[in-house]
A and B are shown apart, each in its own frame.
Chain A
Amino acid sequence: MATKNSIDNTSNPLASTAVTIDPGASGDSFVQFDINATGEFRIGVDDDASDAFKISQGSALGTNDTYSISSDGNVIKPQNSCFGAYAADQANITGSGTVYSVTFTGGEFFDQGGDFASSTFTAPVTGIYLLTTSIRATGFTTSHNTYQLRITTTATNFIANFIDPGNVFDVNTDYGSQLAIITDMTAADVANVYLYTANGTKVVDITGANSYFSGCLIS
């Protein structure tokens, strides 16, 4: 049954079973969502971007795109929170039990959404996030018997225990360790990376160019 203000097969004055939007020979094909005459979102086909299907903030496809599906199905979210950064070299950071907050001041590969600053990721919205880190450490001595790589969020401390470094590596060995988690974060929650080595002296170093921290809002 058709309702007021609806379009349906029965009473549709447009004589169609569906709604078709067509700008003609060229131009975007879209639906505009406004509130009080202010363009909030536009959804439709961007004729200037290989006919990608987009959801854009405001009132123009191609400006402030938040969601885009190419004609062959690849989906990108150009404003979705997503970051990747690498460290600078850091010397004598742990080894004596220090829980060291790794800094990623080497540079940012990307910071979509602008949520990464001062080596800290801040969740812009409540959701599910993928967080990954990979650290290249060196300088372990035989007394070091504990090695942990941690991703710590406001809510949870994720700890990965790795092989007893003092029994496995010598002082000149570089060791790469990785940790990836999918976790829930509330808006304004933060995430950092920590390194912990104990029972020795504080001589463990990080090689910055091969140490990374990255993350993305996935749901």
Chain B
Amino acid sequence: MATKNSINNISNPLSSSAITVDPGASGDSYIDFDINTTQEFRMGVDDTDSDSFKLAPSALGTGDLWKITSGGNVTHPLSSAVLAQNSSQNNVTGDGTDYTMPFVTELIDQNGNFSSPTFTAPITGIYYFCGYLNTRYSNSTSTIVDLVTTARTYSCAYQSPLKARDVSLAVAGRFNFLADMTASDTATFHITNSGGTKITDVTSGTISVALLS
């Protein structure tokens, strides 16, 4: 049903194959999508932001969800994205202990989906995980780094720290995965050094997550 200020196929007096929205000399050019007079989204050109094309929940420029600049760059300012870092922790594994990386320092948490040590998917979709962790002091015979999601475990960074190097030298583990997650699924990162004693330190590490598709 059409309401006042609406356009529909039946009553549209404009008799054209296109629609143009133009506020005149200045101001935003936009379309509001309402349901029962409650504004849900506004889509259009933000005259006060270099004429970027945006989608926002209310006024353009407030809580923008989608932005295309006049140069064609696209951003999603509130879509899930995380960058977190780990501080140094001592004697966390080496004897088979499954250590969950805490990543306590959040540098980015767009959409607020990370709470140390857990990332929680806000929506069903495909997520990209990547990062690294640095360790030292290992007399273990194996190292495994796992991304553990609700659906499955992705393992990487298999190696033998004992044969690879002197016990005091640093070892870096890297990971990158695309993972399908259902809304509310969780993900954590783990390191397990086995076959030695619990002397392995995690000196640093970074995790990045982004909702891709």
Contact = CB atoms under 8 A, between A and B. Distances in A.
Contacts of A30: 33
Interface residues of B, number: 75
Contact of B76 (A8, A73, A136): A73
Nearest to B23: A9
Contacts of B122: 70, 72, 74
Contacts of B29: 18
A106 B122 CA distance: 29
A144 to B, nearest CB: 14
A46 B175 CA distance: 37
B135 interface: no
The size class of the interface chain A forms with chain B is 35 or more
B128 A216 contact: yes
A17 B19 CA distance: 14
A17 B27 contact: yes
A180 B111 CA distance: 25
Given A16-B5, A19-B7, A82-B178, A112 B126 contact: yes
In the complex, which of the residues B30, B32, B37, B158 has the most CB atoms of chain A within 10 Å of its own CB atom?
B158
Interface of B: 1, 3-7, 9, 13-16, 18-24, 27-37, 40-41, 43-44, 55, 57, 63, 65-66, 74, 76-80, 111, 122-126, 128, 130, 142, 145, 152, 154-160, 163-164, 173-180, 211-213
Interface in A84-116: 84, 109-110, 112
Contacts of A8: 20-24
A74 B126 contact: no
A76 to B, nearest CB: 4
Interface string A1-19: 1111111111001111111
B78 A73 contact: yes
Contacts of A169: 159-160, 163-164
Contacts of A127: none
A6 B40 contact: no
Contacts of B80: 74
Contacts of B163: 168-170, 173
B31 A19 contact: yes
A69 interface: yes
A110 B212 CA distance: 13
A174 B41 contact: no
A181 to B, nearest CB: 10
A25 B31 contact: no
B4 to A, nearest CB: 7
Nearest to B124: A76
B20 to A, nearest CB: 4
A4 B19 CA distance: 10
A66 to B, nearest CB: 11
B140 to A, nearest CB: 12
A31 B31 contact: yes
In the complex, which of the residues A7, A73, A110, A134 has the most CB atoms of chain B within 10 Å of its own CB atom?
A73
A207 to B, nearest CB: 8
A14 B5 CA distance: 5
A6 B22 contact: yes
Given A82-B126, A176-B159, A132 B177 contact: yes
B21 A19 contact: yes
A178 B159 CA distance: 13
Contacts of A4: 16
Nearest to A83: B178
Nearest to A32: B9
B35 A22 contact: yes
Given A19-B31, A26-B35, A82-B212, A109 B130 contact: no
Contacts of B79: 69, 73-75
28 contacts: A2-B24, A5-B16, A7-B19, A14-B4, A14-B5, A15-B5, A18-B28, A19-B21, A20-B6, A20-B34, A21-B32, A29-B33, A31-B31, A45-B33, A45-B35, A53-B65, A69-B55, A74-B79, A84-B179, A130-B178, A134-B176, A168-B159, A169-B159, A169-B160, A174-B142, A176-B155, A178-B175, A210-B158
